Amino acid sequence: MSLRHRIVFLVALTFVAIAAIGGYSVIQSRKNASNVKTVTEGVVPSALASADLVALLKEVQLATMTLASAPDQTLAEEAREKLAAQKTQLKDGLDLQFKQATGQAQQGLIEQTRESLDNYFAAIDEMAQLKLAGQTDLAQAVLFASVAQYKREMEQVIDTLRIEKNRSKDEAITALNENLAGAVSALSMATVLAIVALGAAGTLLYRQIVRPVGTMQSLMTEIATSQDFTRRLPVERMDEIGQSTVAFNAMIEKIQESSEQLKQKTTDIQTMLQNIPQGILTIADGNKVHPEYSAYLETIFETRDIAGRDMMALVFADTNLGADALAQVEAAAGACIGEDCMNFEFNQHLLAGEVEKRMPDGRVKILDLNWSPITNDADTIVRLMLCVRDVTELRKLAAEANEKKQELEIIGEILAVSQEKFHDFIAGALKFIDENELILHQYPEQDAQAIAQLFRNMHTIKGNARTYGLQHLTNLVHEAEQTYDELRGAHPDIAWDQGLLLEELAGVRDAVERYARINEVSLGRKGPGRRGSVERYLMVDKEQIQQTIHRLETVNTGNLHELVAARDAVRKTLRLLGTEPLGKALAGILASLPSLAKELGKRPPMIRIEDHGYVLRNQISGVIKNVFMHLLRNSLDHGLESKEERLAQGKSKAGLIDLEMNVADGQLQIRLSDDGRGLALARIRKTAIQKGLIRADEHLGDEDIARLIFRPGFSTAEKVSEISGRGVGMDAVQDFVKREHGKIEIRFLDNAIGADFRRFETVVLLPESSALYVEGRETLYVYDLREMAKEAEASEADVAGSPVAGKPQLRVV
């Protein structure tokens, strides 16, 4: 039962009790009123009337006496009439009494009285007749005899009636009094009972409400003070208090949840502060560092003494900021904290963004400082947050990237100049620089002639540098030339300072030497070079260099990852200088194959080149060209069959030559195989016997026979010199390879031991250093030489460049 129901019940009970008591009182009072009415209107007047009867009787007696002693007839008559009236009165009185009689006893008494009355008046009548008859004495006698007797009798009866009536009256009044008293006590009793019952119910209800509410209150207070949100109030009932308890528990659960979330968040923030590789601190009033800061800050500042320190001392001591800048930072920070957030906008620009801080051991760290305000709801800055990043490494990388960029630009500039001319330029420039240095040493004071000479020399260097498009050098030389030009003037703004001039000259020398060094080291173009070799170097992909430079120019120097990526890209480009892909190295040869095929009456073959990401160093590509020109021609000439022959054997019309370059067992391996008829072992053996290289009866394994083709003077082609034979056989090919510390092998690809023809591959092995692995460059190119030849005819373009100059077209498998 809910509390509401209980209270309603109690109130209803109260109403019922009051209504019952009221109703009872109404009934009682009604009853009492009728009782009173009976008493006052019935019993009492009846008793009084009975007393009147006595008085009336006395009057009758008096009248009788009067009659009896009346002196004359008239008076007697009067008295007699009076008596008659009184008789009637008495009779009426008796009738009334009869009516009002209570009980048979009274009625009997009244009957008796009536009888007595009749007798009494009969005697009086007798006496009256005697009197009227004049017999006064007789009348007197009757009066004293019978009348008096009946009168006494009458008196007695009436008196008895009066007494009876009085008794009945007294009885009625007593009964009335008793009734009234009873009603009062009953009402009192009922009232007391109602009070007791209601009091008990009220108390019970009070205890049922107040006690649990009190318990709840004290438990709530306990939870509130202890902050132990794991506690719950016991739910022992399902009334309003029980429901409140459930609601309270739900609230506590919510609080527990949020307090746990808060705890989790705090822990997260703590963890973050502990682990974030960035220095984060907040600055409170008075420029003091708040005790909660990121652990990495200790790494950056190399101290554990951070909490509560003065921010200026912690962050800015031993930095490159001057006293005024420091004062500005301090004032700006002070002007923000505790003030409206607009103050941050006012003074933000004064908060240093980058400082160089000298550590106790002399190392200098470059720190990137990022300030932000922490505001409250009223937009007041409560603290300043400072993120400190150690960007020393980043700046170094940026500088390195810039250096590389310049280097690339310089390479681009150098590549545009032929090796010979460049060599001459460097030699000439250094000669002029030497000359200037000598002049400067000779003249500690200003000298017009000396300046003229200095200027002329520098002007020449600049002119040459500009002619060759060596932009970086031109700029630097221009500055030196400007200095001399200024000194040459009538009113120079600068003074002759031997030291400074020498320093400037040294800068020019460094720049020229840098160009020379890049030319020698990065490009490998030491010395004046030979005519022709220049062409080799022009094959460096300038576009790629331009792209790399662009990449460096657009790199976000604030982002470490981008910087690293850019640096790697530049590195890759620089590494790739002086290398070329196999396909590119063989481009010219591939281009020559279709016409050869035509001569041989064969279809131009398909060429597959798989380089597994390796590129050839330029030093080796000449050898590779020589070797593979021969091997490819051999393959086309001896290996691949004519179209008809191939079709008859169920092969495709065009032959397929496979080239695969890879590194294995510390060696660069370039393998060539084709889908032609295979190695003609029987014919080789025959030729060898004919040429006297082996005896006819000599027993040789397939490998031994194959190896015969490398013997000097061996050539299987019937018509020497036309196709494969340019006076160069496989022995010469082997020599080329050996000169580069490599070797060449024939490996069989089938198990047809002793057969006339066997499938095989030619493997050229070279030192691993002949190639360079470039990550992410693995490609498989397929060149359809027939298509290429057609296109070449159609456009009359030089096929040599097209498939390899970055556009290995056709089908890429």
Contact 541, 806 (CB under 8 A): yes
Segment interacting with other proteins, rule: CB under 8 A, options 71-79, 337-345, 648-656, 697-705: 337-345
Exactly one of 86, 343, 618, 687 binds other proteins (CB under 8 A); that residue is 343
Exactly one of 346, 496, 757, 773 binds other proteins (CB under 8 A); that residue is 346
Question: Using the rule CB under 8 A, is 331 a contact of other proteins?
Answer: yes
Exactly one of 116, 347, 464, 724 binds other proteins (CB under 8 A); that residue is 347
Contact 605, 639 (CB under 8 A): no
Give min distance, CB of 286 to other proteins, in A: 7
User: Given strand 288-289, what is the order of strands in its sheet?
Assistant: 288-289, 279-284, 381-390, 364-375, 354-358
Segment interacting with other proteins, rule: CB under 8 A, options 332-340, 514-522, 550-558, 705-713: 332-340
Question: Using the rule CB under 8 A, is 328 a contact of other proteins?
Answer: yes
Query: Cα(766)–Cα(810) distance, rounded to whole angstroms?
Result: 30
Query: Cα(558)–Cα(354) distance, rounded to whole angstroms?
Result: 12
Question: Using the rule CB under 8 A, is 349 a contact of other proteins?
Answer: yes
Contact 661, 670 (CB under 8 A): yes
Question: Using the rule CB under 8 A, is 524 a contact of other proteins?
Answer: no
Residue placing its CB nearer to other proteins in the complex, 45 or 338 = 338
Per-residue binding letters, 90-129, with other proteins (x by CB under 8 A): ----------------------------------------
Give min distance, CB of 327 to other proteins, in A: 7
Q: Got the DSSP string for 291-345?
A: S---THHHHHHT-S--TT-BHHHHHHTTBS--HHHHHHHHHHHHHHTTSBTHHHH
Residue placing its CB nearer to other proteins in the complex, 79 or 336 = 336
Site for other proteins in 709-768 (CB under 8 A): none
Instruction: Give the torsion through C-alpha atoms of 739, 740, 743, 744, to 10 deg.
Output: -90
Query: Cα(658)–Cα(674) distance, rounded to whole angstroms?
Result: 6
Residue placing its CB nearer to other proteins in the complex, 79 or 352 = 352
Contact 190, 21 (CB under 8 A): yes
Structure token pair of residue 125: 């009548």
Sign for the CA dihedral angle at 244, 246, 249, 250 comes to negative
Contact 736, 629 (CB under 8 A): no
Contact 316, 266 (CB under 8 A): no
Q: Got the DSSP string for 236-279?
A: ---SHHHHHHHHHHHHHHHHHHHHHHHHHHHHHHHHHHHH-SSE
Per-residue binding letters, 248-287, with other proteins (x by CB under 8 A): -------------------------------------xx-
Question: Using the rule CB under 8 A, is 3 a contact of other proteins?
Answer: no
SS3 727: coil
Residue placing its CB nearer to other proteins in the complex, 310 or 420 = 310
Question: Using the rule CB under 8 A, is 350 a contact of other proteins?
Answer: yes
Question: Using the rule CB under 8 A, is 345 a contact of other proteins?
Answer: yes
Site for other proteins in 284-323 (CB under 8 A): 285-286
Q: Which of 660, 616, 646, 615 is nearest to 775 (CA)?
A: 615
- What DSSP state is assigned to residue 469? T
Give min distance, CB of 337 to other proteins, in A: 9
Give min distance, CB of 280 to other proteins, in A: 24
Residue placing its CB nearer to other proteins in the complex, 329 or 766 = 329
Give min distance, CB of 309 to other proteins, in A: 18
Exactly one of 42, 45, 338, 492 binds other proteins (CB under 8 A); that residue is 338
Query: Cα(60)–Cα(155) distance, rounded to whole angstroms?
Result: 11
Question: Using the rule CB under 8 A, is 26 a contact of other proteins?
Answer: no
Q: What are phi and psi of 739, to 5 degrees?
A: -60, -30
Residue placing its CB nearer to other proteins in the complex, 342 or 780 = 342
Question: Using the rule CB under 8 A, is 339 a contact of other proteins?
Answer: yes
Q: How many residues bind other proteins (CB under 8 A)?
A: 19
Binding site for other proteins (CB under 8 A): 285-286, 327-328, 331-332, 334-335, 338-340, 342-343, 345-350
